[in-house]
A = this chain, B = another copy of it.
Amino acid sequence: MLIPNAGGVSAAAIATPNDSETPNPGFDVDGHRGDLRAIGRSRHFLRNRQIYSEGDDADCVFKVESGVVRTYKLLRDGRRQINAFHGPGSVFGLEIGKVYGISAAAASDCAVTSYGRRNLEALAAYNDQLLLQLFSSVMLSLAREQEHSVSLGRRSATEKLAIFLLSCAGQSAGGRDILLEMSRKDIADYLGLTIETVSRTFSDLEHRAFIELHGARRVRLTDITGLRDLCA
């Protein structure tokens, strides 16, 4: 079976360390773990280190082990749009073409496993489970990107940030305490805003008692229902 129902694969949340609801399908093929382990190589990146750039030869696929990776595009004048944050379990770097169509960098210190593309393809050629997981991870990325487009095109700053925080919290997971591993600039470039607007909107949400800020990185969602109601 090649395009089956993948059970509870939801497309909403951004994968984060505490995101227990929508784990991006990693490579966990029963009975083939050994194979995968053999071709995977563990690598570490410090915050803001480049992992690959748009146009580089796409010879590796990555899975996040810890920390957060951002994938993004740059315009010539320096404007940046972050397409996705990838937390633990999330797969990125999969390409059909010869080169990467998007750049990737560490949004926080992070550990990833890299898989040589040729090796991975060879493995997938006779392993339907792995192939399905790769397919699923692309479909999940697409569904998230579609949802993200709605935010970018049709939502206000408040709605964008509310949705972002909810997805960070993994929505229904008990964890209403979030540790934001990325900078304000990263959040701004993800949501299509400026850092000033992001900061003001954080403050506004706090004044309106939807959240509590403990430093810039720690956020407690004190009114999740209210946050949900904020976003149409």
Q: Name A residues whose Cβ lies closer than 8 Å to a Cβ of B.
A: 1-6, 9, 11, 73, 75-77, 79-81, 83, 94-98, 101-102, 117, 120-121, 124-125, 131, 134-136, 138-143, 145-150, 152-154, 189, 191-192, 232
Contact = CB atoms under 8 A, between A and B. Distances in A.
B79 A232 contact: yes
A117 B81 contact: no
Copy number in this complex? Answer: 2
Contacts of A95: 139
Nearest to A75: B232
A90 to B, nearest CB: 14
A17 to B, nearest CB: 24
Interface centre among A96, A98, A141, A154 (most CB of B within 10 A): A96
- Closest 8 CB pairs between A and B? A153-B192, A152-B152, A96-B139, A81-B150, A145-B145, A75-B232, A152-B153, A79-B154
Nearest to A148: B149
Contacts of A11: 97, 101
A97 B139 CA distance: 9
